[in-house]
Structure 1
Amino acid sequence: MNALASVWPAFAGFDWPWLLVALPLPWLVRRLLPPLRDDGPALRVPWSARVRELAGGVTHGGGRGARVPALAWIGWALLCVAAARPMAWGEAVQPPDVGRELMLAVDLSASMGERDMVLGGEVVDRLTAAKAVIADFLERRQGDRVGLLVFGRSAYALAPPTTDLASVREQLADTVVALAGRETAIGDAIGLGVKRLQSQREGQRVLVLLTDGVNTAGMLDPLKAAGIAADEDVRIHTIAFGGEGEALSVFGFRLPSGGSEIDEATLARIADMTGGRSFRAADTESLAQIYAEIDQLEPIEHPGEALRPRLERYPWPLAAALCCGLLAVPLAWRRRRLA
């Protein structure tokens, strides 16, 4: 096989090389099987010896004394080579890899338990509505690398940027309100997101931060964290999410109860410092539209991995075997005419 590769540099080997063991099969059959016994002609004539001589001395029924044309051996060898499926390397191609590199930060503070959202005709809390929208956002991703972090009093990374978006959805589905504490550490969430995105290529570092409150905990000030993100070329899109607060039911009517404060000014400043955009979502529908808009904002196209495709080359030996068969027919017919 190495010798063949030196003659044919693009040769990539055989896909089914074990079929090459059939090459000596006809020779083994001729050597191992005894020729059929010839008890003599049914009708003896004076010129029978001359007839056998003209026939080439072929023993009745074929056998060890049968003369096999060279084209038959060549055709059989070519058929075996074709059956083994010879492969060749094609020209190297480098298709573009289109996708997104995102880190999602989701607020799990106590205020995310406010039941002021409507999902499927039912009143739900903010976190449930946010998980439904983000899960749909992840469901529609193709070729993206998405990570997930959550924050409350502290920030935690649940999933690093990965193409296994099913596992990211599962991690998101398991989150509950106050899992990371009842307060809100926006600055720490940004700092952790920047740290997780440092391994990504420049221009592809994007953090989408969703919160419904103000920074009330953590070691890092949100604006200072935004400055670090800008230095690291991390673009931050902020989403201020929340309605009018817990819905009260009075005689079947839903009434707002005040709701929690959202520091929209700081969130807008964070987005502006890092080259991102700030959004305000007061209900589930507007949140879904925001994630759809972010989907349009963050397309990334970069060269993919160079590949050399393996190409089928069995038609060549198969066509050569067919030519041998076609040539053998007139040669056999000519031999018989001469006989």
Structure 2
Amino acid sequence: MSFLWPWLLALLPLPWLVRRCLPATDPGAVLRVPSLDAFVLPSPNQAALPGPARTRRRVGIDLWLASTAWMLLVLAAARPLAPADPHDLPATGRDLMLALDISASMATADLGVDGRPTERLTVARRLAQDFLSRRDGDRVGLIVFGKQAYLHTPLTFDLDAVRAALDDVAIGLAGRETALGDAIALAATRLREFGGNARVLVLLTDGANTAGQLTPTQAGWIAQREGLRIHVVGIGAERTQVAMADGPRETNPSADLDEDSLRELAGRTGGSYRRATDAAGLSAFYRLIDDLEPTDLGHADGRPAQELYPWPLAAALVLATLIALRRRTGARR
């Protein structure tokens, strides 16, 4: 057995220390009222112990109960853990980080799904979740970026947790601009902590670098030095109809997409660049990622810990209830 917070066990002698350190109280003068109880012979059903001895015994029992309850409470607070049955972790897979653009432009509804225009982020999120369902054995993390880049979910084998994190992503959560360079540098830093031979960043964006401390070129050099392969997909339709006062007009909603920089970034790191003008194009990009080489993560035995604190906590509550009942009964006598 082990403890999550073993330092809390140092609190075990606290009541004894308080009792030793506090000055003794002076009860002062006490008015003693004579009683005839001392001269009355006890009945057969009455305990033969004299009053003071009976009181000392009762106080001793209460003290023992209180001390035991305190020890059980401290034990529960220290979070005792017991090893559960071991299980094998996946032996092969990839270290893969998703970096998702959630800037204001990702709210543009220009990606066709079943013949209907749909927001870029909605399509990207839906297809990313489908992509994750095929990544058994991979460690996957999620970075979101707008004006700043944030690690939303660290690398984990728990793909359900990453899918749930994707559901929480919303436009503007990280600001309305686009910090491409910072997102790449953050991915390189986090992936470096895990090592492995195949470290992959899947970058989804619909614009150019407009914020952050690093440019995509600077971040690309960092990624290349760390052995990080970057696959980039540029999201956004090439043409769309916009209603104007003089009638509908065709515009390019992806005019801000810096394809040259993204293509250079992918090529420098040994990755690839794809343009997704609709949901089918984005789905094809994800299928391309499925062809990456697996990385050997080795064999590991997972031994999850089982929490034991409910047992000492329940026992402490039972003892506290017993102490309260004994005091209530004693007050009535």
TM-score computed with the length of structure 2 as normaliser:
0.59
Structure 2 residue 222 is matched with structure 1 residue 222: no
1:104 aligns with 2:89: no
**Given the alignment, which residue of 192, 206, 212 partners 1:212?**
206
Specify the SS of the correspondent of 1:243: coil
Q: Whole-Å Cα distance in 2 between the matches of residues 106 and 218 of structure 1?
A: 15
CA distance in structure 2 between the aligned counterparts of 1:221 and 1:181, rounded to whole angstroms: 17
Q: Partner residue of 1:241?
A: 235
Q: Which residue of the other structure, out of 186, 194, 199, is the alignment partner of 2:188?
A: 194
Which residue pairs with 2:329 in the alignment? none
2:75 matched to which residue of 1? none
Distance 2:170 2:135 in 1: 24
Structure 1 pair 194–95 and aligned structure 2 pair: CA distance change class (3 A): closer
Residue in structure 2 matched with residue 270 of structure 1 by the alignment: 265
How far has the Cα of 1:116 moved from its partner? 0.4
SS of equivalent residue, structure 2 residue 91: strand
For each residue in 1:133-173, what CA deviation from the matched residue of structure 2 results, as whole angstroms up to 9, or x when unmatched?
Answer: 10100112211110000001000110001011111111111
1:168 aligned partner, one-letter code = V
Distance in 1, Cα, partners of 2:175 & 2:298: 42
Rg comparison, structure with higher value: 1
Cα distance in 1 for partners of 2:93, 2:219 equals 26
Please state how far the C-alpha of 1:247 moved relative to its aligned partner.
4.8
**Residue 206 of structure 1 aligns to a residue in which SS?**
strand
Partner of 1:87: none
2:140 to 126, 141, 146: 146
Residue number in structure 2 paired with 1:330 = none
**Larger CA deviation: 118-127 vs 298-307:** 298-307
**1:289-321 per-position Cα deviation (integer Å, ceiling 9, x unaligned):** 1111111124224432379xxxxxxxxxxxxxx
Change (3 A) 1:216 1:304: same
CA contact (8 A) 1:226 1:270 kept: yes
TM superposition outliers: structure 1 runs of 4+ over 4 Å? 253-256
- 1:149, 1:158 within 8 Å by CA — same for their partners in 2? yes
2:109 aligns to what SS in structure 1? coil
Find the aligned partners of 1:245 and 1:179 in 2 and give their Cα distance: 27
Aligned match of 1:86 = none
Unaligned ranges ≥5, structure 2: 1-87, 303-333
Q: Does 1:304 align with 2:299?
A: yes
Q: Secondary structure at the match of 1:116?
A: strand
Matched residues, number: 212
CA distance in 1, matches of 2:299, 2:248: 53
Structure 2 match to 1:37 = none
Q: How far off its partner does 1:258 sit?
A: 2.3
Q: Hey, what's the Cα distance between the residues in 2 that align with 1:95 and 1:244?
A: 44
Q: 1:150 to 1:306 in 2, by over 3 A?
A: closer
1:53-109 CA-to-partner distances (Å, cap 9, x unmatched) read xxxxxxxxxxxxxxxxxxxxxxxxxxxxxxxxxxxxxxxxx9982212100000011
| Residue pair 1:230, 1:273 contacting (<8 A) in 2 also | yes
C-alpha change, 1:206 and 1:110, in structure 2 (3 Å) is same
Q: Distance in 1 between matches of 2:266 and 2:283?
A: 19
Q: Which amino acid aligns with 2:273?
A: S
Query: Take 1:228 and 1:145, find their aligned partners in 2: how far apart are those partners?
Result: 21
Matches within 5 A, 1:246-325: 247-248=241-242, 256-260=250-254, 261-305=256-300
Aligned residues: percent identity? Answer: 46
Equivalents in 2 of 1:306, 1:211: separation in Å? 38
Q: Whole-Å Cα distance in 1 between the matches of residues 212 and 107 of structure 2?
A: 20
- Tell me the amino acid that sits aligned with residue 287 of structure 1: L
CA contact (8 A) 2:90 2:137 kept: no
Could you tell me how far 1:201 is from its partner in structure 2?
A: 1.9
1:211 and 1:202 map into 2 onto residues whose CA distance is 26
The question of whether the paired residues in 2 share the 8 Å contact of 1:202 and 1:233 is answered with: no
Instruction: Check the 8 A contact 1:108/1:176 in 2, yes or no.
Output: yes
| Counterparts of 2:140 and 2:162, CA distance in 1 | 8
Structure 1: runs of 5 or more not aligned = 1-93, 308-339
Alignment of 1:75-90 (within 5 A): none
| Corresponding residue for residue 26 of structure 2 | none
